[in-house]
Structure 1
Amino acid sequence: MKKEKIVKEEQTCKHALTSIRDTLDVVGGKWKLILLFVLFDGKKKFNQISKEIGISPRILSKELQELEINGLINRRVCDTKPITVEYELTEYSKTLSELITAMCKWGEFHRQKIVSSTDLSV
């Protein structure tokens, strides 16, 4: 019975590792979660996103394309002159809101911890 429990725990651990890898494959990297967070405010144009977060157009294009492939954003080409492109979140991407909120809270906590542990008065 003890061996069965160990095997089950190993399977659970492997499943968890696979799930974490899958998540990081989709939203990992420097920009993807930031892009999703910015789009939680609503539709935005390509240039607006680029300026807001300070990302080069080439990198932004690549990151947005990957998010679109994974079903997290919709891309719409507007019939304007010059042509503009708008991006917005899909309903599916809203399933990441808890993750983004948790990361935001942890980032605030971590920044406070680092700032408070740095004594510059020495």
Structure 2
Amino acid sequence: MTHRPALLAPLALLAAALPAMAQEAPAPATPAAKEARIPFPSMIRDFRADGRDAIYLRAGRQWYRGTFFAPCIELPWAWRIGFRPSGGVGGIDRFASIIVPREGECRLASLVRIDGKPPERAKKPAKPKG
């Protein structure tokens, strides 16, 4: 019966640690951003590309950030875009698509409201001359 003390030692350590673990509260989860909707595509007055993975849209004074299901390769060089509204409702939301010249549709995976303006790294290219 020499094996019992070897088994009891780890159990004693665990029993001593349980009260301390029970007192630690789990870290609160950060709330997920609420999905937004722009009622009419004609409300969009400006956009900024954030690389190939995200776009910022301005409707009135409010900015929104959209992310794509897959990279939108030509977006950083597009100086104009179009929209394919979500089916049935006609607005721009996470079910809509951005139409980019030379690429076609880039489907949105998410569209959320942001506070303030887009970050400086999000830019719109200069219009081509001519």
Task: Please give the TM-score of this superposition, normalised by the length of structure 2.
Answer: 0.25
Task: Determine which structure has greater relative contact order: mean sequence separation of CA pairs < 8 Å that are 6+ residues apart, divided by chain length.
Answer: 2
Task: Please give the TM-score of this superposition, normalised by the length of structure 1.
Answer: 0.26
Higher Rg: 2
